[in-house]
Amino acid sequence: MLKRLFGFDPAQNSVRTEVFAGITSFLTMSYILAVNPQLFASLDGMPRGAVFTTTALIAVLGSLLMAIVAKLPFGVAPGMGSNTFFVFAICLGLGVDWRLALTAVFVEGLIMILLTITNLREAIVNSIPKSIQQALTIGIGLFIAFVGLQKSGIVIDDSATLIKLGDITHGSALLALIGLLITSTLVILDVKGGMLIGILVTTIIGIPMGITKYEGIVSLPQSITPIFAQFQWSQVFSVQFLVVLLSFLFIDLFSLTGSALGLCLKGGFVDENGKVPRLKGMFLADSVGTAAASLFGTCAVTAFVESSSGVAQGGRTGLTSFTIAVCFTLALFLSPVFLAIPAAATAPVMVIVGMMMFSSITDINLTDLTEAIPAFITIIVMPMAYSIADGIMIGTISYVLINLCCGRYRKLSVGMYVLAALFVLKYIFI
């Protein structure tokens, strides 16, 4: 039965090892239960309790899909890049109602399912230069880190210089710096669940500082009624909806696919030809998970790179991801703990995750300026313009124009010409 459900072979795999690997992966990725509600609470009408429940439920569903459909040992949950983009770039940045944004995520999920079934997903991704794909990850990483610094008060507004260093000698900013030191140390020392432990320790330190409000440990899951199926179909034929949909599709297509491929390569889930036998199942799991996530009231899901910690512990089958799903189910009843966590305690994780995403800079050929300059433009525009979407669009346009001007038009795919043209039209007419 285990073999049929999860691809588990008793002759090659150990139940104990797979379960331990699943617990390890859960500990490394469970910080999303604290971070996601914090981010979505920035939007009116999205209660933290409801978002917490939804985050856990979608992590359960996504990980179960990964376990049964793909039979791979990866945890699935709402992604850090996707949630930041949803809240700050689309809803707060463009002024889009979160209900319309959820509708766009739902349609995006359906499109991703179609692209996966028809095998077009990989073909589209391959049409985009690797430097722009890497720049996307790096830019989102910087944006996430910047948001963390803002939410904690380490960086504040300034009328003369736009931003400046906040008062780091007390309050939320001081707690965030303490948390950054603690969490960084735990991560560097490779402590299992280091980011979660860092969040919890920082939260406890915040009690005597008057920042953390203790509200208990165990409770029944809070209702998701305020955010469940809150679609806004009346505007789906508007230009604004099209822009939002294309933005979500572009970002998630490359970030989700990149995470999936990276995990498979890192974990050695490839055949003798370098192909991932169960890659389509993996893509189907995150596509269906994304459509379901929008129904429940959150952003696109992704296979968490932190799942590599479980793979390192010996996780090789869907039993590992099934264990992750069980852990997230149990976490549903710990909402008072996660909801008591202040922004100052989650900010360090956002900074560290941003740093991890920034590490992709080494994969960009910085000696080829036709690759390096557009990549840099993509990266720097995201935090500076406070818009992931603008970073993508301006970076894509600059890539096409720079290479055309330098006579390197042969390296440009048809897809790049089309995307650049669409983005130019967006800036002209919208």
Residue 20: predicted pLDDT: 87
Angstrom distances, CA of residue 372 to CA of 134, 142, 219, 362, 416: 11, 17, 51, 11, 17
Secondary structure (H, E, C), 254-298: HHHHHHHHHHHHHHCCCCCCCCCCCHHHHHHHHHHHHHHHHHHCC
Total domains in the chain come to: 1
Residue 141 lies in a domain: yes
Nearest to 105 by CA among 83, 127, 136, 134: 83
Distance CA 278, CA 70 (A): 6
Which ranges of 153-276 does DSSP label H, i.e. alpha helix? 171-188, 194-205, 239-267
Residue 411 lies in a domain: no
Rg (CA), the chain: 21
Angstrom distances, CA of residue 268 to CA of 208, 264, 361: 47, 6, 23
Distance CA 226, CA 104 (A): 18
Residue 430: predicted pLDDT: 64
Asked if residues 18 and 320 have their Cβ atoms less than 8 Å apart, the reply is yes
Q: Which residue range is the domain that position 53 belongs to?
A: 2-362
Residue 428 lies in a domain: no
Spell out, as residue ranges, where the chain has pLDDT lower than 50: none
At residue 62, what is the residue type?
A: G
Distance CA 367, CA 364 (A): 9
Distance CA 364, CA 204 (A): 40
Residue 381: predicted pLDDT: 92
Residue 171 lies in a domain: yes
Q: Which pTM value belongs to this model? A: 0.82
Residue 354: predicted pLDDT: 87
Q: Is 373 buried (19+), middle (13-18) or exposed (0-12) by CB count in 10 A?
A: middle
Asked if residues 6 and 13 have their Cβ atoms less than 8 Å apart, the reply is no
Beta strand residue intervals within 55-132, DSSP E:
76-78
Residue 373 lies in a domain: no
Residue 246 lies in a domain: yes
Residue 404: predicted pLDDT: 95
Residue 150 lies in a domain: yes
Residue 167: predicted pLDDT: 92
Residue 275: predicted pLDDT: 65
124's CB contacts (< 8 A; 6+ apart) are 115, 253, 415
Residue 216: predicted pLDDT: 83
Residue 401 lies in a domain: no
Residue 288: predicted pLDDT: 94
